[in-house]
Amino acid sequence: MGSTPLGIKDTFKELDSSADGLTGQEALSRLERYGKNELEEKEKTTALKVFAGQFVNLIVWVLMAAAVISLMIDEVIDFWVIMFTIAVVIVLGFVQEYRAEKAMEALKSIVQPETTVMRDKKLRKIATGDVVPGDVLVLETGDKIPADALLFETVALKIDESALTGESVPVRKVEEESIFAGTQLVHGKCRAVVTETGMSTKIGQIASLIQTKEEDTPLQVKITKLSLTLAFLAILASAITFAIGISIGAPFADMLLISLALAVAAVPEGLPLTLTITLAYGMKKMAGHNAIIRKMLAVETLGSTTVICTDKTGTLTKNEMTVEKIFTGGNVLEFTGAGYVPKGDLLKRGDHVDLKDEPTTIKLLKGIALCNNSAIEKKQDKWEVVGDPTEIALTVAAAKADLWKDELGKDYEMVEEIVFTSERKLMSTIHSTSEGMVSFTKGAPEFVLPQCSMIEKNGELHPITEQDREKILEKNLDFASSAYRVLAVASKEGPKDKMDGDFETDMTFLGLVAMIDPPREEVKGAIEMCRKAGIQVIMITGDNQETAKAIGRSIGLFEGKSGCGVYEDEKLRRIAEDCAVTGDELEELNDEEFDIIVENINVYARTMPEQKLRIVDALQKKGHIVAMTGDGVNDAPALKKADIGIAMGIKGTDVAKESSVMILQDDNFATIVEAVRGGRTIYNNIEKFITYLISRNFTLIILIMAGISLLGFDLIPLLALQILFINMFNEIMPAISLGLDPATEGIMKRPPRDPNDNFLKKRNLFLVITLAFIMGIASFLVFAWSDPAGDTIMARTLTFATVVSMILFIPLAFRSLERSVISIGIFSNKLMIAGVTATFFATMSVMYIPKLNEAFGLLPLSPIEWIMPIGVAFGTFLFAEGLKYATRSVRQADDGK
């Protein structure tokens, strides 16, 4: 980077800052003065808004109509009980919805963006909200600009300002130009001093224009449509019941009250609320496992994922690069020590190396320290690092030889940087020294070596020969096949007046640096789980093919594969060998050829980020649901194209995160697999509570229609208040407990779900219709068996007890739509047990508390009288369990087993 422009000095003076940034104490003082660097939210959810929203509810208005009718026919007790019911509905809805909103807010707060700044003359990562005027921003490609600022150092800088201007073409920026909050670096790097934060920024001044309303996801739309359809059917059934009652001479007002109560009980008002709670808490649970779901759509799609395309470094591996070997002057030197602690020795054939005798090694180590943008610093007893893991490993290796970047910078003043790009696969820095100019270049050996015309051995320069090149490439292959990541280092130097500006040609080769990033211990098990779940795992990396295959073998990526397909075409046979393809080989294939082999490839090596888009497209054409990881700016198109775009939370750029639907806080592949499990669990739970709610909703309609049709209005099985009580206590609580049900065993041993599946597919629809009919008829038979003509109140009490008892058993059967509840554990869902217990005591209160039982038209039952209701309810539970067993073949047909 260049020196600070003269014009910036006035800005620094005005802001009482400098190129070294602020002190921690001054930054804290300014944070108190200026406030958080955040935009104010115009539409924030408040408790009052949630409470008011409870009145925009069809059920509340139907209940109010029922209350008015009760008052009109002088049923004062009914009126007050219905009003109490309305209050309970509103309070329960408010509590659950407000808790769901708070859960979503907590989820959003988990993703805390960070920004690199200069604090106390050191690079620091701080929360973006803590950026203050006078802070010096240190930004690189992919970073989102956190505040308005003035540039004073730039390297090949281009900014995407489309968020402000709508212009899609990146804008080149130079020193003393302004950059703005909300825009993004798409190329190069810079340093800039913050001039405005929060609502004072340019984007803050137009904040009202960027406040967007969150739209419903396809899953929510699907649930809403289902709710409306069921509501229509429920109201239609209630209307038919009303018509039947009127036709047989039932009092108009009484029949209207019964029909309204029946509509309340049958309309599935709990569906949208239960969905919101299930998604909110399911996403919160995923966040606890380091998977942040940015869009609810991802939850639905996760369960259908058939392919996971994953980066290698930091995702399949630990992302703790350590330089272990150096090849220079024909010799291999080895570093001891691991991780980011700069402690270790440099050995040659087991003996300690005296660097005084290794001038080329010293030059190489200086090169990897200077051609570098990372920083390490010891704080108390801990080493803190900032930068790319590969560059940190290089900085640590140089520090082990007591070559520190800050100290070297005094003799090697950096005047220019040629940034790394995925096309060139090189990075260079140019330095001014007392003897002239020198540049250092690092990059992929196959890109560095062709640009070298000289080689340095033991401090002496020699023209590089073909034999030298062969030996270097052979050693590169040797390192790569042992899972090492390899970088080549070269230099170029000369007098200041003779350096022609082309620093990346005619270079001098210094050596190879071999570093390793060991696989994460949990990855092999996660890949095996994917295999059992019918999910293919594909590694995409910029590393050498041999390195990638070595890592792939160590984590079991190729296990269970007998080969990579049989192809008549010789080119396809060559390219698909070992199930691994390089970026260059991918370029050789046309779309038709690539379509033939795409499903058989497990590793893509030396790929360009842009090639990810082609891989995703080819897999999707084959009908796959693709999850794709990414961290860079160039990954954004593939992340958007993928069904599940997954950004890295640690090393991911802001551009990648904005383009994704999921963020991995720990950059760990196993977290993706855990998220898939979570997605499958959430969808299964949604399927369970929908099936339960619909079967329950139509049970009472069948019961009442059968009673009125066969016995007349005077012998109606349940009264309006009894129907309303049942609806209050046997819909929301059991549905929510099903929505929050723990994952069932074997959920990751099933094939991925068909994304075109409906909630009410054949098996589920059969369960709904059959169970609703059986429960309705069973309840009616209890009423008919109990001599309703002789003692109507007792018959209704027994019927009421039967329907409520079903609540104690039937939700347990819905905990799995195919397995026995015994096999999954009756007590494994504590929320359901709590709900069943609450329902039991609520029922006891309206049956055994004097005056209250009179209001509800119920009698206290003796223990013996409970035998029939509980026996019938338990019988329907056993029937439901048997029905699940009988329909497994239908389930298997649905799942394509």
DSSP string, 817-837: SSS-HHHH-TTS-HHHHHHHH
Strands (E) in 312-412, as ranges, are 322-328, 331-335, 346-348, 351-352, 375-379, 382-386
Q: Tell me if the domain spanning 1-182 has CATH number 2.70.150.10.
A: yes
Q: How far from chain centre, in Å, is Cα 174?
A: 37
Residue 212, exposed/middle/buried by CB under 10 A (0-12, 13-18, 19+)? exposed
The C-alpha atoms of residue 700 and residue 704 are separated, in whole angstroms, by: 6
Residue 498, exposed/middle/buried by CB under 10 A (0-12, 13-18, 19+)? exposed
Q: How far from chain centre, in Å, is Cα 456?
A: 49
SS3 464: coil
Q: Is the dihedral of CA 710, 713, 715, 718 positive or negative?
A: positive
Q: Are strands 331-335 and 322-328 parallel, antiparallel or unpaired?
A: antiparallel
Beta bridge partners of 489: 442, 511
Q: Of all helices (H) and strands (E), which one includes residue 140?
A: strand 136-140
What b/e readout covers 54-77, taking b as 16+ CB neighbours within 10 angstroms? beebebbebbebbbebbeeeebee
What b/e readout covers 690-718, taking b as 16+ CB neighbours within 10 angstroms? bbbbbbbbbbbbbbbbbbbeebebebbbb
Domain 300-317+520-667 classification at class level: alpha beta
Angle at 581 between CA 576 and CA 585, to 5 degrees: 95
Q: Where are the domains of the chain?
A: 1-182, 218-290+675-895, 300-317+520-667, 322-516
Q: What is the tens place of the pLDDT at every residue in 677-724?
A: 988 888 888 888 888 888 877 888 888 888 888 888 788 898 877 887
- How many other CB atoms sit within 10 Å of the CB of residue 248? 14
The C-alpha atoms of residue 180 and residue 755 are separated, in whole angstroms, by: 41
The C-alpha atoms of residue 509 and residue 521 are separated, in whole angstroms, by: 36
Q: Could you give the residue numbers annotated as active site?
A: 311
The C-alpha atoms of residue 531 and residue 542 are separated, in whole angstroms, by: 24
User: Residue 19 corresponds to which tokens in the numbers above?
Assistant: 């190129």
Q: pTM, whole model, 2 decimals?
A: 0.71
**According to the model, what pLDDT value does residue 267 have?**
66
The C-alpha atoms of residue 690 and residue 226 are separated, in whole angstroms, by: 9
What b/e readout covers 613-648, taking b as 16+ CB neighbours within 10 angstroms? bbbbbbbeeeebbbbbbbbbbbbbbbbbbbbbbbbb
Q: Which amino acid is at 122?
A: K
The C-alpha atoms of residue 445 and residue 472 are separated, in whole angstroms, by: 9
The C-alpha atoms of residue 817 and residue 695 are separated, in whole angstroms, by: 13
- What is the DSSP track for 631-694? -SGGGHHHHHHSSEEEEETTT--HHHHHH-SEEETT--HHHHHHHHHHHHHHHHHHHHHHHHHH
The set of long-range contacts for 754-762, using a CB threshold of 8 Å and a minimum separation of 24, is 754/304, 754/895, 754/896, 755/300, 755/301, 755/304, 755/625, 757/894, 759/222, 759/226, 759/686, 759/687, 759/690, 759/691, 760/226, 760/690, 760/691, 760/694, 761/894, 762/890, 762/893, 762/894
**According to the model, what pLDDT value does residue 830 have?**
86
Q: What is the tens place of the pLDDT at every residue in 357-413?
A: 899 999 999 999 999 988 888 877 788 887 778 899 999 999 999 999 889 989 999
The percent of the chain in helix, strand and coil, each rounded to the nearest 5, is 50, 20, 30
**According to the model, what pLDDT value does residue 1 have?**
44
Q: Which numeric CATH code is attached to 218-290+675-895?
A: 1.20.1110.10
- How many other CB atoms sit within 10 Å of the CB of residue 841? 8
Q: Are strands 644-648 and 662-664 parallel, antiparallel or unpaired?
A: parallel
Residue 33, exposed/middle/buried by CB under 10 A (0-12, 13-18, 19+)? exposed
**Do residues 402 and 362 make contact, with C-beta atoms less than 8 angstroms apart?**
no
Q: Left (φ > 0), alpha (ψ -120 to 50) or beta: where does 74 sit?
A: left
Q: How far from chain centre, in Å, is Cα 624?
A: 19
Q: Which numeric CATH code is attached to 322-516?
A: 3.40.1110.10
Q: Which amino acid is at 331?
A: N
Query: CA Rg, the chain, in Å?
Result: 35
The C-alpha atoms of residue 245 and residue 248 are separated, in whole angstroms, by: 5
What b/e readout covers 287-297, taking b as 16+ CB neighbours within 10 angstroms? bebbbbbbbbb
Angle at 821 between CA 819 and CA 826, to 5 degrees: 155
pLDDT means per 10 residues in the chain (897 residues)?
61 90 92 85 64 62 63 61 67 63 54 82 88 93 88 88 67 90 84 91 64 52 70 77 82 76 66 72 81 74 89 82 92 89 90 90 96 85 81 93 91 88 86 91 94 94 95 93 91 79 90 90 91 92 85 86 74 79 89 90 86 92 91 81 87 76 86 90 86 82 86 84 75 79 84 76 82 93 92 94 88 84 81 84 89 89 94 93 75 48
Same fold flag, 218-290+675-895 and 322-516: no
Q: What is the DSSP letter of 356?
A: G
SS3 439: strand
The C-alpha atoms of residue 383 and residue 376 are separated, in whole angstroms, by: 7
The C-alpha atoms of residue 602 and residue 580 are separated, in whole angstroms, by: 6
**Do residues 597 and 575 make contact, with C-beta atoms less than 8 angstroms apart?**
yes
The C-alpha atoms of residue 686 and residue 256 are separated, in whole angstroms, by: 33
Q: Which of 291, 428, 450, 283 is closest to 368 using CA atoms?
A: 428
Q: Where are the alpha helices (DSSP H) in 178-217?
A: 202-205, 207-210
How many alpha carbons fall within 13 Å on the CB side of residue 359?
A: 6
Beta bridge partners of 327: 332, 512
